[in-house]
Structure 1
Amino acid sequence: MTKPILLTGAAGGLGSWLRPQLLARYGSLISSDVAPITDLLPGETFVQCDLADGVAVERMVAQSSAILHFGGQSIEAPFHRVMSANILGTYNVFEAAKLNGIKRIVFASSNHVIGFHETSTKLDAESVMKPDGFYGVSKAFGENLASLYVDKHGLEIACLRIGTSIPEPKDARHLSTWLAYEDLLSLLEACLSAPKLGFEIIYGASANDRTWWDNSKTKYVTWTPKDNSERFAATLLPNGDQRDQSDIAVRFQGGPFCSQNYDRKD
């Protein structure tokens, strides 16, 4: 790639881990965030940018060859905060890519796009969206916007429905949703190197025995995760799964995102 890859959300938890890994593989990187990054690495350029600022986003995107869009509000929040960062911000990124002739984008979507499916249901790329909050709605918007930009403008966008990407699982739900950092990195590499990308939905989870998600309907990306959360099960559930299966946060795949502000009476 003649120009560097752009990573938005580079100051976040995942972005901070990905920066040196991406530099080691691709040689140069534009790291962007609304928060400052001061520990720049050789080959790395920092652009401080509010994704809601369309002019600034277009100027930044013009310097890149491909985009890893991880920026935005990363947890549930009031709608207007989510709208600015995740809805307007994602539009600005996709539109800037179109205007600058940049085809390939990897969009960090989320499992919260499908959070109100029950944990007994196995999902694939064709499963209906059932967001579990404003954050999930914003990621559903991003996926639909990606589909539009692929169909109408010829962009190539992979939407990664990332589960729980942390160093190791912390609770029972994570045994189903965990995405090891190394598996995330190999997924990004697979998306960037695929000869064709089109519009792709991929569930971002390791090869967990307890997974709820099936990637067999992916069309363009070949990816085989290697880690498995089951090696943590004995520690996290020494007496088996004792959770109340009727609890909203247990019953549905989105976990606590589903139970937050839940007030249905039936």
Structure 2
Amino acid sequence: MTRTSGHRGGEAASERILITGAAGRAGALLVPRLARPGRLLTLLDQRRPEPAVLADGEDVLLASITDLEAMTHACRGVDAVVHLAGQAWEASFGDVLRLNVEGTRCVLEAAHRAGVSRVVLASSHHAAGFYRYGQHPPGGLPAGVPGRPDSYYGWSKVAGESLGQLYADEHGMDVICVRIGGWREAPHRLRDLALWLSPDDGARLVEACLAAPSPGFRMVWGISRNTRRWFSLAEGEALGYYPKDDAEVCAAALIAEHGEPDFATDPHLNRLGGPMCDVPLGTPR
């Protein structure tokens, strides 16, 4: 493990948060929005985050999430872990097993050994990819429905969720699994009209996960308040997450480019996993 920068803020940190995968796409959206006076963010990845992500008062560690010793060291003195790192799309079974299952186990075990009581795990809507539009109750598909993964990647997220449940039950940790939709700057496909998670709402959700008193084990959807969503926001609201953004602001442009969405019959829209449901298992992306 390599430490490439130290705490530079003049004010003593009252809250310390470790963010794994800080150099990735989600990390680039989240880190600047979590920075605040009195909070020390420790950013862990195998490569250094881009300069635009970094702010005063952050610590950068270069390490692998599969290195239990390094992860345990990184967790010492931390109040909470936000675990974003891992294989981000479909890959070989070996890769998703090593990075998303063994990596998540290492993060949870390191947090336990270091006495960290709260972990926020980045799961994915692909953990439930074979659920269909129309199979949901009026309030939307609940966040905690049993996994129906659409890929090895989705299966690894179900496995990570079950590890979170295990550590919550075995060690009394607070573990919140976020089944993330399309976390990006703006909607860029018709599926995003239902699944988009705006950068600001993503930060609001993580803040709610960090602040909720004694949540135990929870599962929530990582989506914004999209007009065309078919997923429940109740689980997030129970934690204090009240999204403000709506993919509908981009609907006219997306429909002009791709046509009117048909969530009832279009196989790319009426299955939660979309086209991933048709990709042969283990096909790299």
| TM-score of the pair, normalised by structure 2 | 0.86
Output the amino acid matched with 1:259.
D
Deviations, residues 27-70 of structure 1 (Å, cap 9, x unaligned): 31100011223634311111111111111111111242210000
C-alpha deviation, 1:26, in angstroms: 5.1
Q: Root-mean-square deviation (CA), in Å?
A: 2.0
Secondary structure in 2 matching 1:139 = helix
Secondary structure in 2 matching 1:77 = coil
Moved over 6 A (4+): none
The aligned length equals 262
- Asked if 1:255 is matched to 2:274, the reply is yes
Q: 1:60 — aligned with what?
A: 74
Secondary structure in 2 matching 1:5 = strand
C-alpha deviation, 1:198, in angstroms: 0.6
- Tell me the distance in 2 between the aligned counterparts of 1:63 and 1:17: 25
Among residues 74, 77, 92, which one is paired with 1:78 in the alignment?
A: 92
Unpaired stretches in structure 2, ≥5 consecutive residues: 1-12
Unpaired stretches in structure 1, ≥5 consecutive residues: none
Distance 1:244 1:141, change over 3 A: closer
- Tell me the distance in 1 between the aligned counterparts of 2:132 and 2:276: 13
- Asked if 1:159 is matched to 2:190, the reply is no
Whether the 8 Å contact between 2:190 and 2:255 is mirrored in structure 1 is yes
- Asked if 1:27 is matched to 2:39, the reply is yes
Q: 1:118 — aligned with what?
A: 132
Secondary structure in 2 matching 1:10 = coil
Among residues 85, 105, 123, which one is paired with 1:109 in the alignment?
A: 123
Q: Kindly report which structure 2 residues correspond to 1:178-193, keeping only aligned pairs within 5 A, or say none.
A: 178-193=196-211
C-alpha deviation, 1:2, in angstroms: 4.0
Identity of aligned residues (%): 36
Whether the 8 Å contact between 2:144 and 2:220 is mirrored in structure 1 is no
Distance 1:136 1:256, change over 3 A: same
Secondary structure in 2 matching 1:68 = strand
Q: 1:36 — aligned with what?
A: 48
C-alpha deviation, 1:185, in angstroms: 0.5
Output the amino acid matched with 1:250.
L
Whether the 8 Å contact between 1:2 and 1:65 is mirrored in structure 2 is no
Whether the 8 Å contact between 1:4 and 1:65 is mirrored in structure 2 is yes
Whether the 8 Å contact between 1:5 and 1:64 is mirrored in structure 2 is yes
- Tell me the distance in 2 between the aligned counterparts of 1:83 and 1:30: 25
- Tell me the distance in 2 between the aligned counterparts of 1:23 and 1:31: 11
- Tell me the distance in 1 between the aligned counterparts of 2:177 and 2:161: 6
Secondary structure in 1 matching 2:121 = strand
Distance 1:217 1:19, change over 3 A: closer
